[in-house]
Amino acid sequence: MSTPAAPTAEQLAGMLRFYTPLVSDTMERMGLESTALESTIQQIISNPAQRVCGLAFPCRVIPTAEYVEIDTLLEMIDAIPANAFVLVASDAPIDAALWGGMMSARARARGAVGAAVNGGVRDIEQIARLDFPVFGTGRCIRDIRQRGYMAAYNIPIRCGGVEIAPGDVVLADANGVIAVPLRHFPALYSELDRAWSEEQATEEGLRTGGEARALFDRYGRF
């Protein structure tokens, strides 16, 4: 089976109309499994209006008690493509930051749209100054050396309970992060247009005094 074409820049921009709960709900209505990352992975710097979408650039970290220099991490950060959403997943929890300020500065310069990790993040002030969206399980001061090392990048990983391949479409907002497999994206994108219109109509009806039951019966949204 041929690999679907990568989403266009217009489609990635179009995804910013939507929000992660809508994407999750629409996937399930289509008979697909929701690929929302575990709810422990959230914005490190709270911003209710923040919404970013890009193509998955997945990276794997292996826990270790040995000192391993960050050579592969440096290679990874210099290899990030434009429109990337970087995901870093450790094979097991480690008490160390998987993302930080220097990584954010370089990723932003490379054209990345955001990053998510299944662990801690540090250098919060620097990240805030850069206005670079980062998602993780919390804040952590400790360096990764002697706790883990980056083993590979631009490979399939499992992050937040979800299998993610390079080029999958990642949408993140104040609700969390969802990674849509590329093979499902064309059909999902078409369905999201209709779902979004129905949700907008339902919300407008509720705000202007419409009854919840009647609006649900009409649009099937609530």
Read off the pLDDT of residues 71-86 as tens digits, 9 standing for 90 and up: 999 999 999 999 999 9
Contacts of 57 (CB under 8 A, 6+ apart): 80, 81, 84, 85, 86, 87, 112, 153, 154, 166
Calculate mean pLDDT across residues 93-106: 98
pLDDT of residue 4: 78
CATH number for the domain whose boundaries are 9-182: 3.50.30.40
pTM equals 0.94
Q: What is the average pLDDT score of the chain?
A: 96
pLDDT band at 32 (very low <50, low <70, confident <90, very high): very high
Lowest-confidence pick of 21-25, 85-89, 156-160, 198-202: 198-202
> Largest Cα–Cα distance of the chain, in whole Å?
63
Q: What is the pLDDT of residue 2?
A: 66
State pLDDT tens for residues 151-196: 999 999 999 999 999 999 999 999 999 999 999 999 999 999 999 8
Structure tokens at 161: 């309970």
Ranges assigned E (strand) in the chain: 42-43, 51-63, 84-90, 97-99, 114-117, 120-121, 134-136, 138-139, 148-153, 157-159, 162-164, 169-173, 176-180
Give the pLDDT confidence score for residue 151 in this predicted structure.
Answer: 98
Token pair belonging to 21: 């709960």
**pLDDT higher than threshold 80 for residue 3:** no
Instruction: Look at residue 95 and give its three-state secondary structure.
Output: coil
The DSSP bridge partners found for residue 192 are none
What local confidence, expressed as pLDDT, does residue 134 receive? 98
* Mean pLDDT for the stretch of residues 50-55: 98
pLDDT of residue 187: 96
pLDDT above 80 (res 1): no
Helix, strand, coil distribution of the chain in percent, nearest 5: 35, 25, 40
User: Residue 128: is its pLDDT beyond 60?
Assistant: yes
What was the pLDDT predicted at 221?
85
Residue range 37-52: mean pLDDT, rounded? 97
